[in-house]
Amino acid sequence: MRFPLVAVLPLAAAVPLTAELRFHAPLDRTTVAQISGGDRQPLRSNGVRFDGAAVFPHGAQLTYDARGNLYADQGAASFWFRPDEPLGRVGFPLFLVSYEQHSTWDFSFLRVDWSGSELR
């Protein structure tokens, strides 16, 4: 399947409200972010390939540190998702943002899933 999948581990901090773009990783040739308020390099990039866009085979992971890149109290997150085969009835996470050093679903504050019948 071809789709950008980004999981971010942010730090809680008081941040002044701004309208600037904090983080942008086009994922067309590399996992290194073009725009970053923090670390541009991913913390983890396992199994991600490129074929004009990022390709995430089963089990691939891509994780960025959100320190300076993302804040839970402001902003928006967007990504493109285009599967290269029909989606089945089995659900799976597409996009997950969780608190610092927590990779369990209990600490997520932003999550997009395929439920087996729709995006949620």
pLDDT at 12: 40
Both structure tokens of 10: 């942010």
pTM: 0.71
- Length reported for the chain: 120
The span from the CA of 3 to the CA of 80, in Å, is: 6
pLDDT at 35: 93
Strand ranges in the chain using DSSP code E only, listed in sequence order: 7-9, 23-24, 35-36, 44-46, 49-50, 54-55, 61-65, 92-98, 108-114
pLDDT at 8: 44
The span from the CA of 106 to the CA of 99, in Å, is: 10
Query: 3 burial class (0-12, 13-18, 19+ CB within 10 angstroms)?
Result: middle
pLDDT at 10: 41
The span from the CA of 41 to the CA of 34, in Å, is: 10
* Tens-digit pLDDT string for the chain (120 aa): 444 444 444 444 444 545 688 899 999 999 999 999 999 999 999 999 999 899 988 888 898 887 888 887 777 888 888 887 788 888 888 887 776 655 555 667 788 888 889 888
